[in-house]
Amino acid sequence: MKTWNLDALYESFDSEAFQQDLATIEVEIKAMNEFAKTAFETPDDAKEKLITYIKQQESLQTYFRKAFAFCSLSISVDAGNTEARKYMNKLQELSSNTTYASTRFTKWLPTVTDLETIIANTEELSDAGYFLERTLTQAKHVLSDKEEAIIAKMRNTGSTAWSQLQGELTSTLKVDYDGKQITLSEVRNLSSDKDQDVRKNAYLAEQKAYPKIEQSVAYAMNGVKGEVNTLSQLRGYDSPLAQAVEQSRMEQATLDALIAAMKEYLPVFQTYLKRKGKLLGHDDKIPYYDLFAPLGKSSRTFTEDEAMDYIFKNFKTFSDDLEGLARRAWDEEWIDFTPRDGKRGGAFCSNLHPIKQSRILTNFTGSFSNVITLAHELGHAYHGDQIFKERPINSSYTMPVAETASTFCETIVKNAALEDAKKEEKIFILEQSIMGSTQVIVDIYSRFLFESKVFETRKETPLNADMLKTMMLDAQKAAYGDALDDEFMHPYAWLNKPHYYIGGLSFYNFPYAFGLLFAKGIYAAYKEQGSEFVDKINLLLQKTGQMSVEDVASLVGLDVSDKDFWKTSLEVIKIEIDLFLDLTK
């Protein structure tokens, strides 16, 4: 079993390095708060105050990100790690203590009348312009020092605690399947098994297990969304969605164009789903348990070594740097591959700016789709490698562009596999690609509708499990139309998605659609322009921490506020669907 190595962060929680960094964090928070207490009374000596505060922020970020990552990564593979939870709780409490200084700074910054001149004439601030511009925008939504401090502390026992509850319950839930108990991740992995009986029985077992925790997780959803509604209103946002759009550094017009294009193309995806249902023996509709069924024939399974070799070979067709990044991830043990008790489901990549490395979690079982997931997460690591070139305050990119490199890397591997495949394997690979796109367009649209409805309803009444199940079914019907079998839907699709339970990050759904279609557009430009486009892509990724998504797109000549751009990218997927329909006549 290949697991990741976290020694580059710390060897243990008891290590001198971890304990020393924890102490340093406390000292630096105290120093920053003492500075903020007097420095931000007047706009005098603004240049020196700006330089000092940003240096303090970056130093604290470096220590904090490193320690917090060690806690969160430890918990992600061992939900019962009490030591990791203890220190994560401590770090969350320390983080809330930084609110005073950041609030004081945010409210002070608009009083600096010559800010642009100071930035232009100060070397230490020359690349801090976007950070300061964003701070000015945030200043419109900042409450009083006391209110912000209270909110930060209360979140630790509010949305943060609810999120942890959802994570622990879904990580430790036991599912009765085939005479034994397995984890939720393991039973969900069976959704792509070759045997339809296995898929159906796994689906039924999964649905049967959820009632054990449905009310507890419903309370978590209720708590998180209630908190977000309250804070969004207090801060003067029109809605949680408006807040999410601003946090994404994008314009509402861009989101509107994206959603409108997605909705327009839903029938294209529904036609594909109906064909897939027929191929699997159903009458014009597909049950949820067959959404991830493999079609075509592919006897290929991969060990971890074989999967990585396949990725190395195909990443090299893009650039030596991309291949080199993947080899580093393998050689330096960045990846935790296989499912086990206590390990969270799904997959993610954590970019660790303080050590200029990433860590990747997957639940790898050897399928081709697992290889695609691995390529996806390595794409995130490649994005991180580009962003590591920037200073800490410019290293945080937003949700919509977060999926760009990952989806791009998926496309490299999928397209390479298609070129080498014979008809039956081509159907398999093509359908895997379309299946993924369907999740990112159709299912993401359902999640967007669901979350919008949850926020709207939560304003009027608390949410319970039955209400959430009904809302989810309504959203799935709106997105999947008559292509999804009414008798076999997924009323619990809200329970196992951790994205719904992040208090500071609502609507973590549309960014996936943005990333998929944005990457399709970039890939098309890359295929047209060739190797000379590689440097442009790298620059785009590098600058995602210090530009709006519209400005990032303009670096490669794309207008993401235009619905026609999204339709052009959706047409790329439609071509795949048309080919699939032709091959499966």
Query: What is the layout of strands, in order, in the sheet containing 335-336?
Result: 335-336, 357-361, 348-352
- Domain 164-171+182-298+421-583 = CATH 2.60.40.10: no
Instruction: For 132-200, give the DSSP string.
Output: HHHHHHHHTT---HHHHHHHHHHHHTTHHHHHHHHHHHHHH-EEEETTEEEEHHHHHHGGG-S-HHHHH
pLDDT at position 345, please?
85
- Cα 130 off chain centre by: 23
pLDDT at 524: 85
Nearest to 107 by CA among 78, 136, 73: 136
Please state, in angstroms and rounded to a whole number, the distance separating the CA atoms of residues 574 and 576.
5
Q: Which two tokens stand for residue 430?
A: 């093509």
Q: Are strands 335-336 and 180-183 parallel, antiparallel or unpaired?
A: unpaired
16-157 against 164-171+182-298+421-583: fold identical: no
Task: Kindly provide the b/e burial profile for residues 111-137, where b requires at least 16 CB atoms within 10 angstroms of the residue's own CB.
Answer: ebeebeebbeeeeebeebebbbbbbee
Q: What pLDDT score was predicted for residue 298?
A: 72
CA distance linking residue 310 with residue 313, whole number of Å: 5
Q: What is the pLDDT of residue 424?
A: 86
Domain boundaries, the chain: 16-157, 164-171+182-298+421-583, 304-420
Give pLDDT tens digits along the chain (585 positions): 799 999 999 999 999 999 999 999 999 999 999 999 999 999 999 999 999 999 999 999 999 999 999 999 999 999 999 999 999 999 999 999 999 999 999 999 999 999 999 999 999 999 999 999 999 999 999 999 899 889 999 999 999 999 999 999 999 999 999 999 999 989 999 998 989 999 999 999 999 999 999 999 999 999 999 999 999 999 999 999 999 999 999 999 999 999 999 999 999 999 999 999 999 999 989 999 999 999 988 767 899 999 999 999 999 999 999 999 999 999 999 999 999 999 988 899 999 999 999 999 999 999 888 999 999 999 999 999 999 999 999 999 888 898 889 989 999 998 888 887 888 888 988 998 999 999 999 999 999 999 999 999 999 999 999 999 999 999 999 999 999 999 999 999 999 999 999 999 999 999 989 989 999 888 888 988 888 899 999 999 999 999 999 999 999 889 999 999 999 999 999 999 999 999 998
* Residue 399: predicted pLDDT: 80
CATH fold of 16-157 reads Butyryl-CoA Dehydrogenase, subunit A; domain 3 (1.20.140)
Residue 336, phi then psi, degrees to nearest 5: -105, 110
Predicted local distance difference test score (pLDDT) of residue 421: 80
Q: What is the pLDDT of residue 43?
A: 93
Encoding tokens for residue 152?
């930060």
pLDDT score of 423? 86
Range 39-46 contact pairs with CB under 8 angstroms and sequence separation of 24 or more: 39/108, 40/104, 40/105, 40/107, 40/108, 42/111, 43/108, 43/111, 43/112, 43/113, 46/112, 46/114, 46/115, 46/118
Burial string for 313-342 (b: 16+ CB within 10 Å, else e) reads: ebbbebbeebbebbeebbeeebbbbebeee
Distance of CA 278 to the CA centre of its chain: 33
Q: Which 3-state string (H, E, C) describes 410-459? A: HHHHHHHHHHHCCHHHHHHHHHHHHHHHHHHHHHHHHHHHHHHHHHHHHC
CA distance 341 to 350: 21
The pLDDT of residue 300? 79
**Six-digit token pair at 492?**
């619990």
What is the C-alpha to C-alpha distance for residues 183 and 344, in angstroms, rounded to an integer?
9
